[in-house]
Amino acid sequence: MRLADKTMKMPRKVVQGPIRDKEKTKQKLLAAVGKILRVKGYSGLKVSKIAAVAGFDKKLIYEYFGSTEKLIDEYIRSQDYWSRLDQQPIEIDMSDGGQELSKMAIIAQYDRLKKNKELQKIILWGLSESKPILKKIADEREEVGEELFTAIDPHFGEEATRYRAITALLVSGAYYLNMYTGHNASKFCGIDLKTEAGRREIELAIEEIIDSAYEKRKNK
């Protein structure tokens, strides 16, 4: 009887595993994609390699994501700045025609890309290969951008396309400067972009260009 009582008081053992903890397993598989991207690049994203790095059987990739492509697709979405921006409601006063929104969005993108080496790899991948996964993400970025421009275009009227062109140069410049200084020299046009002072100069330039575009429109 005493043995029975002792047994009854023992804590019940909870078996942890992929079936009981699906979300945790999914996150480990997604993290494995990021680790491979950092170390091996996109060429290393093979189903067997992802499974090995995550420490699971590769059949779980098909069970939880449907395919390797869908796993990679979900990972890219979780890292892509514009995809994440679309998922986060932002309340900003648009009475200025989107001036502050433009500065916030582009500077935040510039800052996020510096910190996210995996996202840099994804962008480089998109520039070097034509893949349905990457085209889909690019199309989704355009959709998010179109939502922003739809709110900003009325402020610029007939010059709306010109402001879109200015934004295109700023966004692509933010991409390039981060990837160039991340993989090659630290200086660009003599500005050391690996220092806070150097990066702040780029941020101030972004603000100045956007302010100038809005000021020009105001004076017309």
Class of domain 2-77: mainly alpha
Q: Is the pLDDT of residue 92 over 70?
A: no
Compute CA distances 140 → 59, 69, 134, 149, whole Å: 29, 17, 10, 14
- Output the pLDDT for position 85: 61
Tell me the per-residue pLDDT of 23-38, one tens digit each, with 9 for 90 and over: 899 999 999 998 998 8
Using left for φ > 0, alpha for ψ between -120 and 50, and beta otherwise, residue 46 falls in: beta
Quick: pLDDT tens for 184-201: 778 899 999 999 999 999
Q: Is 191 helix (H, G, I), strand (E, B) or coil?
A: strand
| Predicted confidence (pLDDT) per residue in 119-149, tens digit | 888 888 888 878 787 888 888 888 888 988 9
Q: Which helix (H) or strand (E) holds 9?
A: helix 2-9
Burial class (CB in 10 A: 0-12, 13-18, 19+), 71: buried
State pLDDT tens for residues 36-50.
988 888 888 899 999
pLDDT at 86: 54
What is the reported pLDDT for 87?
Answer: 56
DSSP count for the chain of H helices, then E strands:
11, 2
DSSP for 132-154, written as a single string: HHHHHHHHHHHHHHHHHHHHHHH
Burial 8-47 (b: 16+ CB within 10 A, else e): eeeeeeeeeebeeeeeebbebbbebbbebbeeeebeebee
pLDDT in tens, 75-89: 888 887 766 665 555
CA distances from 82 to 87, 198, 210 (A): 9, 24, 19
Q: Which of 134, 137, 119 lies closest to 83 in space, CA to CA?
A: 137
Q: pLDDT at residue 204 above 80?
A: yes
> Closest Cα partner for 173 from 134, 209, 219?
209
Q: Give pLDDT, residue 185.
A: 75
User: Where does the pLDDT of residue 7 fall: very low under 50, low under 70, confident under 90, or very high at 90 and above?
Assistant: very low
Mean pLDDT is lowest, of 15-19, 53-57, 69-73, 194-198, for 15-19
Mean of the per-residue pLDDT values of the chain: 84
Range 68-71, long-range pairs (CB < 8 A, 24+ positions): 69/132, 69/133, 71/29, 71/30, 71/33
3-state secondary structure at position 173: helix
Q: Return the top range by mean pLDDT from 86-90, 95-99, 122-126, 203-207.
A: 203-207
Asked whether residue 93 carries a pLDDT value surpassing 80, the answer given is: no
- Number of neighbouring beta carbons within 10 Å of residue 178: 25
Give the residue, 170 or 11, on which the prediction is more confident: 170
Predicted pLDDT at 176:
92
